[in-house]
Structure 1
Amino acid sequence: MEKREFILRVIIAIVFLLVIIPVILLVIQRNDFLYGITSVAILATISAGVWLSFYMGRINMGQGAYALIGAYTTAVLVVQYDISFWIALFVSGFVAAFFSILIGLPILRLRGVYFSMVTLTLTEVVRLIAIALVPLTNGPSGITNIPLPGELSLFGITIIPDFATLQNSKIAFYYLAVVVMIISFAVVHRLVNSRMGILLKSLQQNEELASSFGVNIAYLRVISYAISSFLGGIGGAIFINLTQSVYPTTFQVADSINYMLYTFLGGLAYVFGPILGAFVLYFSWDMLFIFKEYQLLIYSSIMILLMLFLPNGILSLRLKK
């Protein structure tokens, strides 16, 4: 119970900050910081998929590939086929999940460093494919001038207004990113606390033993990997609508590694670890900008120290009573 109460307090604190801060920033016109916390929410959503992969015992270093697939899917559907962003958003997630199933069927048999190395190449492969498919992706030039999300209505009732008609679309993107993040983590939290979550945990500990008890390990691996990629796809879709452009370099290998670092820093034992990890790493990098050429050195040193003294992540901290 103590562990659950601690996590609940952290969740309440993070949600409180993410809801109150943008209102204050909107009043004082700090759109740059508002863009930052919007990005944090998107990055946390993408990293939730990486955390789920860790939960089943796989080190996923290719989440950037599925974010890029989702990004291009939305861009192509919205720009070239004039499909609503709200439809394209879910289609992007399913397209990313579909490709993850095709890729996952052979590579999910691999374990440890072998699986990691294969997934590490995925982002670069997707980038090269995006460059080659010029008729669809416009090659290295990318797709620009992506329109803002339009109105979402149901039975003539406007549920979400057209972002282009709003005085400040950044606040709308912020709430969109936060709502998607909350829903994503709620789904992942429910999943790991369900029967399927228990079975996934068994895969992390001993796949042979789980298989001997009749667990369909191949099915579980593919389904969980598809869910992970779905989160990457919708995260990428939201991000490129925020920036209104997508290029083959929008999501790179370095981004895939960062998603892994967010989960490590927040805490692999905690579902909501990627939220805190993304928040801390994103803004710590910006704050270290004042050190100029020493920025990367200091950043790397801090990361090494955190891994040494907090191997279970920031959420593993406990205050002595």
Structure 2
Amino acid sequence: MTRESRKYWLTLVIGLAWFLLLLWPLLGINDDGTLSFAPAFAVWIRVAVVVSILAVIYFAKKQGWLDPVLNPAGKAAEEVRKVLAAPPLWIYILIGAALALAFPWFTSRYAQDIAISVLIYISLGLGLNVVVGLCGLLDLGYIAFYGVGAYTYALLSIHYGFPFWVALPFAATFAAIAGCFIGYPTLRMRGDYLAIVTLGFGEIIRIVLNNWMSLTNGPNGLLGIDAPAVLIPDFSDGFSLEVFFLKNLGYLYYVALGLAIFSIVGVYRLNFSRIGRAWEAIREDETAAELMGVNTFRFKLLAYAMGAVFGGLAGAFFAARMRFVSPESFTFIESALVLSMVVLGGMGSIPGIMLGALALIALPEVFREFELYRMLAFGGVMTLMMLFRPAGLIPAKRMGKRSDDED
């Protein structure tokens, strides 16, 4: 056994031992204060077996022992990729659109509910992608714009009777204004300082929503929000237009799908515009971009505002779907979840963020029977992703690398 291989297996043993030390307090301390080792060891041994098998496979691949099997498989996979790349892109878009439109007709209410959540988080992830992925500004308070959009529609619907479609532009506008208020004080900051300040502003907005009793009803939330509605013709007594509320999950799915498609097209157009190029220049090297004539102050503020617009639209739909909003829906953990989608899928990559939202929202529901172990598996998968695929599931095609990143 070589020195490198001994180091590899020693690292694996130390990692498994450390995992056992972390797992035992979670499962070994009972409610009555007694201690037990069997539950934690039962879970640990299963994880250890799976990790050991994966480690053996990885080590064998690294040593070249699997080349007789992997080389033909790699050639076959390359042929499959060539066949899939032959048709034009619009064919895949049409197939995806047809499947998305037909989804509610062949699925249960539970699947539709999960699909609506995925579509909401796709809009949120794409909005945060404008700030983090395109402009390179780490925003840990993004969920505040989601809350502003939700409360804007809730207040307009309850107090002024605004329909959902009329209130959408107001939700986007107020979210953009909130984005400017949050973004303006942070424009001179970078790195960790920027993250801390945006986190603070996000918590400030949540606390304001929680304590402004006369406007937001505080922690009790707002109830009685109208669902989205459309006008349909009625010929029962002549011709008239009747208001039809979209309360069914199948109808709400199509509304969420429309908002997600709008977000995808909007972020795509922004990405491949002059504004998108300026954001990318700021992301790669802000000082160089400013020296080349890019107004970094204006474009960074615009990134906050445009990203907040998509968050506000998603928030308005969230309020219309739930018909109830409260500050507990807009905590920091939601911002962390959306940021995880962007990082997991690939910063700056629209297909990657869609895949990241699907992975973080739908997959935990698939493994719901594992209950508490779901988040444990989620943390492990995120760790492995950052180790072996740090650029994300589907990395962006235009993504530079700074010199300090290489160091």
Q: Shorter-chain TM-score category? A: 0.7 to 0.9
Q: How is 1:86-105 mapped onto 2 (pairs within 5 angstroms)?
A: 86-105=165-184
Aligned residue type for 2:346: G
Following TM superposition, by how much is the alpha carbon of 1:16 offset from its aligned partner in structure 2, in angstroms? 4.6
Corresponding position: 1:294 with 2:373 = yes
Aligned in 2, Cα 1:181/1:74: closer, same or farther, shift over 3 Å? same
Residues 129 and 348 in structure 2, CA contact (< 8 A), matched pair in contact too? no
1:57 maps to 136
Aligned residue type for 1:228: G
After superposition, what is the alpha-carbon deviation per residue over 1:16-73, rounded to whole angstroms, capped at 9, x for unaligned?
5433322211xxxx11110110111111101111111121111122111000011011
Aligned residue type for 1:212: L
User: What stretches of structure 1 of length at least 5 have no aligned partner?
Assistant: none
Aligned in 2, Cα 1:66/1:152: closer, same or farther, shift over 3 Å? farther
After superposition, what is the alpha-carbon deviation per residue over 1:52-101, rounded to whole angstroms, capped at 9, x for unaligned?
11211111221110000110110000011111211111101100101111
After superposition, what is the alpha-carbon deviation per residue over 1:204-249, rounded to whole angstroms, capped at 9, x for unaligned?
1111111112211111111111000011011011011111100011
Aligned in 2, Cα 1:101/1:52: closer, same or farther, shift over 3 Å? same
Residues 131 and 138 in structure 2, CA contact (< 8 A), matched pair in contact too? yes
Residues 182 and 198 in structure 2, CA contact (< 8 A), matched pair in contact too? no
2:104 to 13, 18, 22: 22
Corresponding position: 1:151 with 2:233 = no
SS in 2 for 1:61: coil
Residues 263 and 277 in structure 1, CA contact (< 8 A), matched pair in contact too? yes
After superposition, what is the alpha-carbon deviation per residue over 1:119-176, rounded to whole angstroms, capped at 9, x for unaligned?
22333221210121111111111011212123358xx997xx8453x6x621111111
Corresponding position: 1:267 with 2:346 = yes
Following TM superposition, by how much is the alpha carbon of 1:293 offset from its aligned partner in structure 2, in angstroms? 2.7
For these two proteins, the number of residue pairs brought into alignment is 306
The runs of 4+ residues in structure 1 deviating greater than 3 Å are 5-17
Separation in 2, partners of 1:14, 1:209: 40
SS in 2 for 1:298: helix
Separation in 1, partners of 2:356, 2:255: 20
Corresponding position: 1:122 with 2:201 = yes
> Which one scores higher on RCO, CA 8 angstroms, separation ≥ 6?
1
Please identify, of 14-23 and 84-93, the stretch whose mean Cα deviation from structure 2 is larger: 14-23
1:37 to 97, 109, 115: 115
Please identify, of 33-42 and 109-118, the stretch whose mean Cα deviation from structure 2 is larger: 109-118
SS in 2 for 1:58: coil
Residues 182 and 201 in structure 2, CA contact (< 8 A), matched pair in contact too? no
Separation in 1, partners of 2:349, 2:138: 16
Q: How is 1:191-206 mapped onto 2 (pairs within 5 angstroms)?
A: 191-206=270-285
Residues 352 and 395 in structure 2, CA contact (< 8 A), matched pair in contact too? no
Residues 50 and 228 in structure 1, CA contact (< 8 A), matched pair in contact too? yes
Aligned residue type for 2:219: P
Aligned residue type for 2:280: K
User: What stretches of structure 2 of length at least 5 have no aligned partner?
Assistant: 1-81, 233-238, 397-407
The structure with the largest alpha-carbon Rg is 2
Residues 347 and 395 in structure 2, CA contact (< 8 A), matched pair in contact too? no
**Aligned-residue CA RMSD (Å):** 2.5
1:237 maps to 316
1:79 to 158, 162, 170: 158
Residues 97 and 227 in structure 1, CA contact (< 8 A), matched pair in contact too? yes
Separation in 2, partners of 1:170, 1:264: 30
Residues 185 and 272 in structure 1, CA contact (< 8 A), matched pair in contact too? no
Following TM superposition, by how much is the alpha carbon of 1:104 offset from its aligned partner in structure 2, in angstroms? 1.0
Residues 22 and 34 in structure 1, CA contact (< 8 A), matched pair in contact too? yes
Aligned in 2, Cα 1:68/1:283: closer, same or farther, shift over 3 Å? same
Separation in 2, partners of 1:10, 1:218: 39
Separation in 2, partners of 1:8, 1:109: 42
Separation in 1, partners of 2:120, 2:261: 11
Q: TM-score, normalised by structure 2?
A: 0.70
Residues 18 and 37 in structure 1, CA contact (< 8 A), matched pair in contact too? no
Residues 153 and 167 in structure 2, CA contact (< 8 A), matched pair in contact too? yes
1:131 maps to 210
Residues 226 and 323 in structure 2, CA contact (< 8 A), matched pair in contact too? yes
Following TM superposition, by how much is the alpha carbon of 1:269 offset from its aligned partner in structure 2, in angstroms? 4.0
1:48 maps to 126
1:113 maps to 192
After superposition, what is the alpha-carbon deviation per residue over 1:290-317, rounded to whole angstroms, capped at 9, x for unaligned?
1123222122111211222221222249
Aligned residue type for 1:105: Y
Residues 149 and 312 in structure 2, CA contact (< 8 A), matched pair in contact too? yes
Aligned in 2, Cα 1:44/1:134: closer, same or farther, shift over 3 Å? same
Q: How is 1:170-319 mapped onto 2 (pairs within 5 angstroms)?
A: 170-316=249-395
